[in-house]
Structure 1
Amino acid sequence: MRNPRIYQDQPLKVGEKVQLNADAFGHTIRVLRLNEGDMVTLFNGQREDDGNYCQYQGELSNVSKKQAEVLLTDRQVVENESPLNIHLGQGISRGDRMDFTLQKSVELGVNTITPLFTERCGVKLSGERLAKKRDQWQKIVISACEQSGRCAVPKVADPISLSDWFSQETSALKLNLHPRAKHSVMTLPQENQRVRLLIGPEGGLSDEEISQANNAGFIDILLGPRILRTETAALTAISALQCRFGDLA
């Protein structure tokens, strides 16, 4: 029997019983069709008092048609976070491209994702629709953590304009993927272990946005001689950065 990993947003402690929230119950009981006595693994995405990220083994109990509990039997420290902290500023793309980018970037170790409104993003969202879309993106991130074994859950920040993102204070190395750049990712100096990575939407950033990025301290970088789609660009850049500064061999 498989032992699925389930995100549960509440304190966890060995010896205690926790009631699965609605999303966890639906996935565990209705989708996976697990039964009383089956084992699951829970995590809450938070550092514990000792500074570690942990997951908890547990046994399903008191399973009914509407709820289920998990008796936590074992705590495991999980140490699979990259030493490189990546904040991805991703131009909002259409359809499933944005979902795919978020999912795979989490699997590759990104820490924060800020969806960005740019001149060419082509997606019009505001108010309640925007809030629902952000919640959907956060659920995609959580699902990627469940699948990839991560216990630290990256945050999907509120979508903002590119200029507002530029104005945020940061000590991170700021990089903009540009097909006509002179610098390669692999030749960058290892200045620190924090990176802000800017990826444009379909159609890329405008010349004016690229100029604004340069004025904000972003370094244009190149991944190769071919122009990549937005989702390919983000994942390739993250992989290259993890090879250069992080934990990908």
Structure 2
Amino acid sequence: MPRFFVDAPLAAPGEIALSAGAARHVQVLRLQPGDALSLFDGSGPEWRAEVTAMGRSEVRVNLVEATQPQRELARAVTLAVVMPANDRMDFLVEKATELGAAALQPLVGERSVLRLAGERADKKRAHWQGVAIAAAEQSGRTVPMRVEPVLPLAAWLAALPEPGGDEWRGLLSPRAAAPITPFAQQRALFLSGPEGGLSDAEEDAARARGFAAVTLGPRVLRADTAPLAVLSWLALS
């Protein structure tokens, strides 16, 4: 059954007009009145719906029934990533959504190749949020991964609350000696570097904010692979 994200609250059974993005998808697939589809608005529920009217400028559907599928990770995981270059960030956003990350924080560090700020950063963030929504539609998630505004690593670290409570913080470092091990906290925050890794000063700053340096094994993983390896481990642990 086709499933689409709707950029408007889905609150109760009844007929509605689809938002522009979802309507375009329905038109491209040439669905007809009576065809079934699944809709979600990012808040958690998934709605079984049926097309009632197709037009050039409007598509109407009848919301039939809402369910609460359980497809999220047991923990709320945020990936803080000093952005990799080229199209690797698109790949990372897509796969992190598929693997269940709750949020992704794009960062700019000392060794960053991809440096974004201002309007260009805002446009990239909007693009990546669209990638996350498309990946949620494909993977069955009803809560797309949230992409945060691009920030400098130093400023982001300085603004973090004091460590502790119900959040575990991990620093993915090829120089670390301790492997990642199970933890009890229900929220997790992982920091990962770009091509070339984080500088010594950046790693020291992360440790000062409560990040435990961990290794993912004897091989050096690419900047877009290491965060996904952690998500895979969490999904299966």
TM range (shorter): over 0.9
Corresponding residue for 1:183? 178
TM-score of the pair, normalised by structure 2: 0.93
Which amino acid is the alignment partner of residue 27 of structure 2? I
Distance in 2 (CA, whole Å) between partners of 1:124 and 1:117 is 6
Q: Paired residue for 2:32, among 17, 30, 35?
A: 35
Distance in 1 (CA, whole Å) between partners of 2:33 and 2:114 is 45
Distance in 1 (CA, whole Å) between partners of 2:188 and 2:69 is 23
1:95 is aligned to 2:52 = no
Indicate the SS of the match to 2:120. Answer: helix
Distance in 2 (CA, whole Å) between partners of 1:15 and 1:233 is 43
1:235 is aligned to 2:228 = yes
Which amino acid is the alignment partner of residue 212 of structure 1? A
Contact 2:98–2:136, Cα closer than 8 Å, also in 1: yes
Q: Paired residue for 1:76, among 67, 85, 92?
A: 67
| Distance apart, 1:13 and its partner CA | 4.0
1:201 is aligned to 2:194 = yes
Distance in 1 (CA, whole Å) between partners of 2:129 and 2:144 is 9
| Distance apart, 1:86 and its partner CA | 0.6
Deviations 1:1-55 (A, max 9, x none): xx2111112222453112111211122212x222222111111111xxxxxx211
Contact 2:32–2:53, Cα closer than 8 Å, also in 1: no
CA RMSD of aligned residues (A): 1.5
Distance in 1 (CA, whole Å) between partners of 2:49 and 2:150 is 36
TM-score of the pair, normalised by structure 1: 0.88
Indicate the SS of the match to 1:86. Answer: strand
Distance in 1 (CA, whole Å) between partners of 2:156 and 2:190 is 11
Q: Paired residue for 2:101, among 93, 100, 110?
A: 110
| Distance apart, 1:133 and its partner CA | 0.7
| Distance apart, 1:198 and its partner CA | 0.6
Contact 2:173–2:215, Cα closer than 8 Å, also in 1: yes
Distance in 2 (CA, whole Å) between partners of 1:58 and 1:142 is 19
Contact 1:104–1:235, Cα closer than 8 Å, also in 2: yes
Corresponding residue for 2:129? 138
> Between Structure 1 and Structure 2, how many residues are aligned?
233
